[in-house]
Amino acid sequence: MHRFSILETRIHDSFVEAVYTGLSSRPRSLPPRYFYDADGTRLFDLICELPEYYVARTEMTILRRHAHEFPTASTVIEFGGGTGAKTRLLFDAFFRTRERMTYVPVDISKTALFESAGPLLETYPRLRVHAIQAEFDRACELIPGEPSLVLFLGSNIGNFSHEESVRFLSALRGHQVLVGFDMQKDPSILRAAYNDDQGVTARFNLNVLARINRELGGTFDLGAWEHLSFYNQCESRIEMHLVSKRAHEVHIGSIGHTFAFDAGEHLHTENSYKFSREQIRRIARDSGLNVARIWTDEREWFSLALLS
């Protein structure tokens, strides 16, 4: 794989710090980026195939219809590319006008980077892949400085607060950035998307505790927790929590600390904000960027915005 390289950063230390900080705070929380180890990535791929989860299907429809309209660049940087299915769709269009390209995928999961890079390199012989395993804020310091096309697809930006979105996008000024925004819609559709009948989202949510057990020597009993997801109308966001079924203690070896949980206590694991067009424009403006164009589906359930 002479056309492939990977830069790894110290994810483990960041994980330890985030877990200690999140479990020591009140209310307790864990960052959603730690869902995505190898198991979490596979579970999220299953979520994307669920009938209730409209996000992936709707975005793919937009990409198929409009990929030829997106700008191209000699370097394409992608934050959180997952399996690479959307990337391949875009590259089919980009290589019609580009002789060669360099692809810089950024992901917290090394497994996801390797599993997505192999098929891409086989499909596109004129492609080079320089992968970065890092958290997104750290990766902004490591990506190439020349003007590039940056992809931030899915509903990844929905995990950020407004302030976090502005901080992240501000670091990308000088590039063209194609961002996926999950739009505001009937709350019943949103609730169903995060509470699927097969329980895959619940397993995905619980995986963050399983990961702490595997990697940090935790003693979480997954049976002592249940998945909770609801739409927070005031904040225009889906919230995911894990709720303790009983009072119990959890020891985490890498931290050297025992945490006591009360019955009914919440552990907040994810926010997924939903947007209006005005909110998209405000995020761009506050980041020092302009909204060059917005592509959406017929129902306006999902939008891709080109910021420059």
**Per-residue pLDDT tens over the stretch 17-54:** 999 999 999 999 999 999 998 899 899 999 999 999 99
Give the integer Cα–Cα distance in Å for 129 and 53. Answer: 30
Residue 237 CA, distance from chain mean position: 15
Instruction: Give the side-chain half-sphere CA count within 13 A for 40.
Output: 20
* pLDDT for residue 292 is more than 80: yes
Residue 10 pLDDT class (50, 70, 90 cuts): confident
Averaged confidence pLDDT in the chain: 96
Question: Residues 250-259: what's their mean pLDDT?
Answer: 97
**Per-residue pLDDT tens over the stretch 137-156:** 889 999 999 999 999 999 99
H or E element, residue 104: strand 101-107
Give the integer Cα–Cα distance in Å for 30 and 20. Answer: 9
Give the closest residue to 155 by CA, choosing from 183, 190, 181, 191.
181
Q: Give the CATH class of 33-186+275-307.
A: alpha beta
Q: What's the confidence (pLDDT) of residue 81?
A: 84
Residue 1 pLDDT class (50, 70, 90 cuts): low
Virtual torsion, Cα 48, 172, 105, 282, nearest 10 deg: 0
* pLDDT for residue 66 is more than 80: yes
Q: What's the confidence (pLDDT) of residue 33?
A: 93
The first and second tokens of residue 305, run together, are: 């915005």
Q: What's the confidence (pLDDT) of residue 30?
A: 98
For the four alpha carbons of 60, 179, 207 and 27, in that order, the dihedral sign comes to negative
For the four alpha carbons of 156, 161, 162 and 166, in that order, the dihedral sign comes to negative
Question: Residues 191-219: what's their mean pLDDT?
Answer: 98
For the chain, percent of residues with pLDDT exceeding 90: 91
Residue 211 pLDDT class (50, 70, 90 cuts): very high
**What is Dmax (Cα atoms) for the chain?**
61
**Per-residue pLDDT tens over the stretch 265-281:** 999 999 999 999 999 99
Give the integer Cα–Cα distance in Å for 1 and 96. Answer: 24
Q: What's the confidence (pLDDT) of residue 38?
A: 87
**Per-residue pLDDT tens over the stretch 97-134:** 999 999 999 998 888 899 999 999 999 999 999 999 99
- The domain limits of the chain are 33-186+275-307
pTM: 0.96
